[in-house]
């Protein structure tokens, strides 16, 4: 599938946004509207090598488990996550958070997600609306991220108060 890119401007310093994003245990707070049942893949949830496994709540998705691991963490401007999803984890994923310093202490966060389906059936499933669905879900996640980092959660419909942090499976 062609890459899906969404972005948001957050009224917070880039270092603060980066520190929040480099802790994968924070990610369920802004993505739990479509990624659920999170479990860490190691005890340390921060930085290079941090990873998590989760279930994707997509319509008609029979093979809903996925995972990501931080493969590159370049402070304070870039986080690259690699992962797999789909039947027998055969669909590779690549997610990139690019953070750029904006005017007046703001930060532009751009998230790009790319998938590499392994088989024809995987490509057909993606072709049945997955790109638009992922773009909508990721755009909402970016709005929720902004709400968490800059707003009072009671004043934003997409923001929520901080939730329970994800833990290691079985922990």
* Interval 36-56: pLDDT, tens: 999 999 999 999 999 999 999
Give the number of other Cβ atoms within 10 Å of residue 157's Cβ. Answer: 9
102 and 9 Cβ atoms separated by less than 8 Å? yes
Integer Cα distance of 50 and 32 in angstroms:
18
- Which helix (H) or strand (E) segment is 114 a member of? strand 107-116
The pLDDT tens digits of the residues spanning 63-77 come to: 789 999 999 999 999
When the candidates are 1.25.40.10, 3.90.650.10, 3.30.530.20, 3.30.70.270, the CATH number that belongs to 4-155 is: 3.30.530.20
3-state secondary structure of 168: strand
Integer Cα distance of 79 and 31 in angstroms:
16
Q: In which band, very low, low, confident or very high, does the pLDDT at 122 lie, cut at 50, 70 and 90?
A: low
């Amino acid at each position: 599938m062609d890459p899906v890119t969404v972005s948001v401007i957050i009224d917070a310093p880039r270092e603060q946004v980066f520190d929040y994003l480099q802790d994968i245990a924070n990610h369920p707070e802004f993505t739990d509207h479509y990624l659920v049942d999170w479990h860490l893949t190691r005890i340390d949830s921060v930085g290079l090598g941090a990873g998590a496994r989760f279930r994707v709540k997509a319509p008609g998705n029979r093979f809903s488990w996925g995972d990501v691991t931080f493969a590159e963490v370049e402070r304070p401007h870039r986080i690259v996550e690699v992962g797999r999803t789909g039947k027998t984890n055969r669909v590779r994923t690549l997610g990139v958070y690019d953070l750029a310093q904006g005017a007046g202490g703001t930060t532009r966060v751009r998230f790009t997600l790319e998938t590499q389906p392994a088989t024809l059936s995987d490509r057909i499933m993606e072709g049945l609306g997955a790109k638009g669905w992922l773009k909508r879900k990721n755009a909402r996640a970016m709005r929720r991220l902004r709400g968490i980092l800059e707003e009072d959660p009671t004043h934003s419909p997409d923001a929520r108060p901080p939730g329970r942090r994800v833990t290691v499976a079985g922990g």
